Chain A
Amino acid sequence: GAGVSQSPSNKVTEKGKDVELRCDPISGHTALYWYRQSLGQGLEFLIYFQGNSAPDKSGLPSDRFSAERTGGSVSTLTIQRTQQEDSAVYLCASSFHRGTAEAFFGQGTRLTVV
Chain B
Amino acid sequence: AQSVTQLDSQVPVFEEAPVELRCNYSSSVSVYLFWYVQYPNQGLQLLLKYLSGSTLVESINGFEAEFNKSQTSFHLRKPSVHISDTAEYFCAVTLRGGNTPLVFGKGTRLSVIA
* A complexed with B: yes
Task: For the complex, give the distance between the alpha carbons of A112 and B52 in Å.
Answer: 41
Give the nearest-CB partner of B106 in chain A.
Answer: A42
A102 lies within 8 A of B32 (CB): no
Answer yes or no: B53 CB below 8 A from chain A CBs.
no
Give the contacts of B75-101 with A (CB-CB under 8 A): 90, 92, 94-101
- Interface pair A40/B9, CB less than 8 Å apart: yes
- Whether the Cβ atoms of B49 and A99 lie closer than 8 Å is no
**Which stretch, B13-21, B40-48, B56-64, touches the partner chain A?**
B40-48
Shortest Cβ distance from residue A5 to the other chain B in the assembled complex, whole angstroms? 11
Contact partner, A33, options B6, B102, B106, Cβ 8 Å: B102
Q: Number of B interface residues, CB 8 Å?
A: 27
Does B67 touch A at the CB level, under 8 Å?
no
Are the CB atoms of B105 and A33 closer together than 8 Å?
no
Instruction: Decide if A76 is an interface residue (CB 8 Å cutoff).
Output: no
Contact partner of B49 among A33, A98, A102, A107, CB < 8 A?
A: A102
- 5 intermolecular pairs with C-beta atoms under 8 Å apart: A42-B106, A56-B101, A58-B101, A99-B96, A105-B44
